[in-house]
Structure 1
Amino acid sequence: MRTIPNSLIDQAVAWRHCFHEIPEIGLQEYKTSDRLVQLLTEWGLDVESGIAKTGIVATLKNGEGPSIGLRADMDALPINEQNEFAHCSVHPGCMHACGHDGHMAIMLGAAYHLSRTRQFHGTVYFIFQPAEENAGGGRLMVEEGLFDRFPMDAIYALHNWPGLKAGEVMVNPGVMMASHDSFRITIKGKGCHAAMPELGHDPIIAASELIGALQTILSRRVASQNNAVLSVTQIHAGDAMNVIPEQAEIAGTLRCLQPAVRNQIITIMESFISHFLKPFGVEGELSWIYGYPATENDPDKAELLKQAAIAALGDSSVHWDQPASMAAEDFSFMLQVCPGAYCWLGAQRGDEPSISLHHPGYDFNDDIIANGIQIWVSLVEQSLVMSGQENS
């Protein structure tokens, strides 16, 4: 594996700190985008910006050959940072609590190194995607013609993972992460005085019973080997302490690894709302918000990514075909259109559990920036092999 210069790694750490200081919410990453465009243009890449508002695609071509895309997410989260180091967020109420600052630094390091060494034949598209966290920037980029404008034979992404030791990688030949949907159930009853509940139809009681009933779907209606998570996360009802309200709302999220299970649970929920609520004298309405599909790797591309990670970090550092996460990732939209693969890059410092993603005290582990750059460089050089190197 070709060594990444220490000077480049140090520079990538500085870029990471810069991005951490100026976090921006999805589809508002204007300062971030401007800085990325500046750097990529200085290095001679062909840069197109403004895709899905703030997204960027930088093209590096070296002769004729296949083409691959590498994707890094750009957006931050609406969280007040609790850290006190020099590169803390300067934007109150917003911070890079998921490590996207590190993903961008890794991508920049790989882009710079590959633009100077050019040990490949073909085209690399460096994709900087906005709004991974909530607004589905991956879907927006696809809808705006990402793969029509930049034809790719494969696409890849990585994400730092605090639950995996630094210097290790996990990749699956199938599902990596779950689908993510949200729901809202509106329960309409009949309001009345709280001292005379017999005169009304209480939507709060009905909502409470429905919440418990929904939890039986996974334990009694779905096979135990079909992983899914159904969580009610909100309940809203009433304005006065002596009034039974007309209406109550509950909301939550569903995570699934298989599309068939996702559809099965939706159908069962619709049945519960139609029939379970009737004895309470109330009516329910389900609003379903389809989110991200499951993130599912192409087996062949996952194998290529695994081999690139082995070349970069060693065979013992790469974990293959492990349990998927019930978290979600909008890289899934890109994988639905173009074959590719996604991996987790270990970020845990030492043996103690790391602070989790989306925590106000989270900070990307700078020690893994070199690992990420090495993986991307290895993947490009193995996928876009130079003429005469096939049997070397």
Structure 2
Amino acid sequence: MDTNSLAHKLTDWRHELHRHPETAFDEHYTSAFLADRLEEMGITVTRGIGGTGLVGTLKKGTRPNAVGLRTDIDANAITEQGNPPWKSQNPGRMHACGHDGHMVQLLGAAWLLSHTVDFDGTVYFICQPAEEPGKGARAMIDDGLFQRFPMDSIYGLHNMPMLPAGQIHVRPGGIMASEDNFTIQITGKGAHASSPHMAIDPLVTAAELILALQTIPSRTANPLDPVVVSCTELYMDGAHNAIPSHVTIKGDTRSFSPDVQTMIETRMHDLTEAVCTGNGATYDFSYTHEFAPTRNTPANTALVARAAHRVLGSEQVYDTCEPIMISEDFAQYLDHVPGAFFFLGSGVSNIPTENTMLHNAGFDYNDHILMTGATVLAEIARQALED
């Protein structure tokens, strides 16, 4: 199979995976498909790591150097609204984030490295479940990923439809934010809507608190530290003519360092206590850390840029891109080995707002960049093993 034939094969594989999306830790068909394709290339596969995860091992030469290339394999709990010929056949599930494309690009890199690229060392192809809920990387690590497959560095990518197709964006340090979730339950005293003076209104308290929380990014955080505090859900037990007794606020926060995460949590609790106490209400406060910030190692970031320059030319590579506030559990790996995560532009239109965004029910991966991602990943592995 030459590279032109490989490009067609990658498209066929992507469409097959798109037809059969599976959500976190239920990726049985997906995992078997990936394992079978890797084994057909002569790559040794170890299955069942962290549940439905797997690792393919390709060794050439005698050097002990090793590099990891990682893909996410789970889909979203979304009903697909588009109508491509390869539309999801699993109701309520679809590849709305492009993990079908990521998997195929890893398979493409595996084929290139096993058939056409010379290197001396070991490449591990890491197929990770449950990225969407942020549980899969931890599951693989807890199952001995780095003890069973010791590697010197690790790399991963994500498509970005707001970027022009084929561009590579990367940066040293923080490239993706943490995600922390919060739940604030406010308890007041319900009453008839006509008699607010007989109530302790938790809804008015919640409204005051929601506005107060916005002082965290605007008045507490350093203006040079990106911080997002979003209240995203509001529940209550009232009616159109009844002041409720209970209100629950849910939401999430985003930042780029543990110190800022701690500041947000502390300030959020202090504001909740002050606003509720001031209104005569009581509260219950919960704050959980879901995703750590993804922070690229500078040397590995430079390697990604060099590899992308070699494959695509300097005009397609941006090595000091702006960070974004979404989250990824690839960050868990960077606590154990150095590495870098980068973005691959997947926009169909040159006008960013005309492209269908990630997690949209009409999203479909841009097949024209499958070989781009595969070739860049293969070159990253080759250069990593030369260092």
Q: Which TM-score applies when normalising by structure 1?
A: 0.95
Q: Name the residue aligned to 2:231.
A: 232
SS of residue in 2 equivalent to 1:17? helix
Given that 1:81 and 1:95 are in contact with CA atoms closer than 8 Å, whether structure 2 keeps it comes out as yes
Q: Name the residue aligned to 1:375.
A: 376
SS of residue in 1 equivalent to 2:132? coil
CA distance in 1 between partners of 2:142 and 2:184 (Å): 30
Residue 307 of structure 1, CA deviation: 0.6
Given that 1:12 and 1:105 are in contact with CA atoms closer than 8 Å, whether structure 2 keeps it comes out as yes
CA distance in 2 between partners of 1:135 and 1:383 (Å): 27
Q: Name the residue aligned to 1:11.
A: 9
Q: Name the residue aligned to 2:136.
A: 137
Q: Name the residue aligned to 2:34.
A: 36
User: Is 247-256 or 114-123 further displaced after alignment?
Assistant: 114-123
Given that 1:62 and 1:118 are in contact with CA atoms closer than 8 Å, whether structure 2 keeps it comes out as no
**Where in structure 2 are the equivalents of 1:258-273 lying within 5 Å?**
258-273=257-272
CA distance in 1 between partners of 2:202 and 2:274 (Å): 15
Residue 336 of structure 1, CA deviation: 1.3
1:255-292, Cα deviation, whole Å (9 max, x unpaired): 00222211111111111112221121101221012110
Amino acid at match of 1:38: D
Amino acid at match of 2:360: H
**Where in structure 2 are the equivalents of 1:82-161 lying within 5 Å?**
82-161=81-160
CA distance in 1 between partners of 2:61 and 2:219 (Å): 58
Given that 2:69 and 2:123 are in contact with CA atoms closer than 8 Å, whether structure 1 keeps it comes out as yes
CA distance in 2 between partners of 1:276 and 1:205 (Å): 10
* Unmatched segments (≥5 aa) in structure 2: none
Q: Name the residue aligned to 2:60.
A: 62
Given that 2:180 and 2:253 are in contact with CA atoms closer than 8 Å, whether structure 1 keeps it comes out as yes
Given that 2:69 and 2:381 are in contact with CA atoms closer than 8 Å, whether structure 1 keeps it comes out as no
Given that 1:157 and 1:342 are in contact with CA atoms closer than 8 Å, whether structure 2 keeps it comes out as yes
Q: Name the residue aligned to 1:365.
A: 366
* Unmatched segments (≥5 aa) in structure 1: none
Amino acid at match of 2:137: G
CA distance in 2 between partners of 1:320 and 1:308 (Å): 11
Q: Name the residue aligned to 2:20.
A: 22
CA distance in 1 between partners of 2:251 and 2:160 (Å): 25
Residue 199 of structure 1, CA deviation: 2.3
User: Is 233-242 or 328-337 further displaced after alignment?
Assistant: 233-242
1:162-193, Cα deviation, whole Å (9 max, x unpaired): 12111210110111100011100011112233
CA distance in 2 between partners of 1:4 and 1:139 (Å): 37
1:336-355, Cα deviation, whole Å (9 max, x unpaired): 11100010011112423211
SS of residue in 1 equivalent to 2:214? helix
SS of residue in 2 equivalent to 1:270? helix
CA distance in 1 between partners of 2:15 and 2:101 (Å): 8
Given that 1:4 and 1:374 are in contact with CA atoms closer than 8 Å, whether structure 2 keeps it comes out as no
Runs of 4+ in 1 over 6 A off after TM superposition: none
1:175-223, Cα deviation, whole Å (9 max, x unpaired): 1100011100011112233332222211111111111111122111112
CA distance in 1 between partners of 2:210 and 2:365 (Å): 37
1:16-47, Cα deviation, whole Å (9 max, x unpaired): 00000001111111110111111112222111
SS of residue in 1 equivalent to 2:138? helix
Q: Name the residue aligned to 1:46.
A: 44
CA distance in 1 between partners of 2:81 and 2:233 (Å): 26
Given that 1:4 and 1:370 are in contact with CA atoms closer than 8 Å, whether structure 2 keeps it comes out as no
Residue 362 of structure 1, CA deviation: 0.8
CA distance in 2 between partners of 1:265 and 1:296 (Å): 19
CA separation of 1:62 and 1:269: change in aligned 2, threshold 3 A: same
Q: Name the residue aligned to 2:356.
A: 355
SS of residue in 1 equivalent to 2:101? helix
CA distance in 2 between partners of 1:246 and 1:276 (Å): 16
Residue 136 of structure 1, CA deviation: 2.0
Given that 1:73 and 1:132 are in contact with CA atoms closer than 8 Å, whether structure 2 keeps it comes out as yes
RMSD: 1.5
